[in-house]
Structures are given as C-alpha cells and as structure tokens.
C-alpha cells in the first residue's frame, strides 16, 4: 500500500501540479475530518483505492492505459479548512479527482470500492 500524505494549504497545489511531472497529471484526494464517523468508515476504502490505482502503474487491472500517473493525498478539513471551499466541497467524506489542477469529479458520501473504481476508471478513459 502506498504511503498517502496528509495535505495542507502549503503543499496542496504542489500535489495537484508537480513541476517535475509532465502535463496530464491526476490527483485523487480524500477530504475527511477526524470527528466524522462516515470518514472513519471510508478511509480504509480510500486506501484500497490508492492501492488499486498504484499497483499497476498506468495499466489498472490490465484494462486501461490513460498515459499518466495519479498523486494521492488526504485533507483533514479541520486542520486545513480553506482547501475544500475553494473547490465547492461541502461535505465529508468526499473523494475528489483532479486533472491538471482542475476538479473533474467529486464523489461525496459513502461508496463501495467497486463503485469508486468504476467511476474513476470511466473518468480516466473519457479524458484520453
């Protein structure tokens, strides 16, 4: 399982747009809060999601090749309260998918792992 960094206001934009990487960068960010019980339920699912999308590089499950890589991060909205409102994120847990620093998909609430994988793979395929 990859190590997933805790993101704050200082390093959020760097995660979305790393100057050392080519354009076409993706980021899958988990917005949560330590006081939120559904967030505690969803965090292991998010970590499984990061596992799924990092294990096979750009060839997830042998099914797709979108020609990029995905950065991962966790934002605790209690510790970094200014990030979520910038992107219209009003509830936690939420998983946000960014492409080249632009929010392209938002999954708010609780999901099964299979639902998240399908939704994210569809978005990655549509972008290619």
Domain ranges of the chain: 6-16+23-127
Q: What is the DSSP string of 63-86?
A: TEE-S--EEEEEEETTTSTTHHHH
User: How far, CA to CA in Å, does 12 sit from each of 2, 36, 100, 108?
Assistant: 18, 22, 13, 19
Instruction: Give me the percent of the chain exceeding a pLDDT of 70.
Output: 82
User: Per residue in 63-116, pLDDT tens?
Assistant: 555 656 789 999 999 999 999 999 999 999 999 999 989 999 999 999 999 999
For the entire predicted model, the pTM comes to 0.88
Peptide bond into 93 cis (omega under 30): yes
Q: Do 47 and 1 form a contact (C-beta atoms < 8 A)? A: yes
pLDDT greater than 50 at residue 59: no
What residues form DSSP beta bridges with 30? 74, 95
Mean of all residue pLDDT scores within the chain: 87
CATH 3.40.30.10 correct for 6-16+23-127: yes
């Amino acid at each position: 399982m990859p190590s997933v960094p805790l993101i704050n206001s200082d390093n959020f934009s760097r995660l979305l747009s790393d100057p050392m990487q080519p354009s076409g960068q993706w980021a899958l960010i988990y917005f949560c809060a330590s006081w939120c019980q559904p967030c505690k339920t969803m965090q292991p699912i998010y970590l499984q999601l990061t596992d799924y999308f990092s294990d096979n590089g750009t060839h997830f499950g042998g099914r797709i090749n979108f020609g990029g890589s995905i950065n991962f991060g966790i934002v605790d909205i209690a510790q970094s309260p200014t990030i979520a409102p910038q992107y219209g994120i009003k509830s936690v847990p939420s998983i946000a998918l960014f492409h080249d620093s632009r929010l392209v998909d938002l999954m708010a609430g609780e999901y099964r792992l299979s639902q998240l994988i399908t939704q994210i793979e569809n978005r990655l395929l549509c972008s290619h």
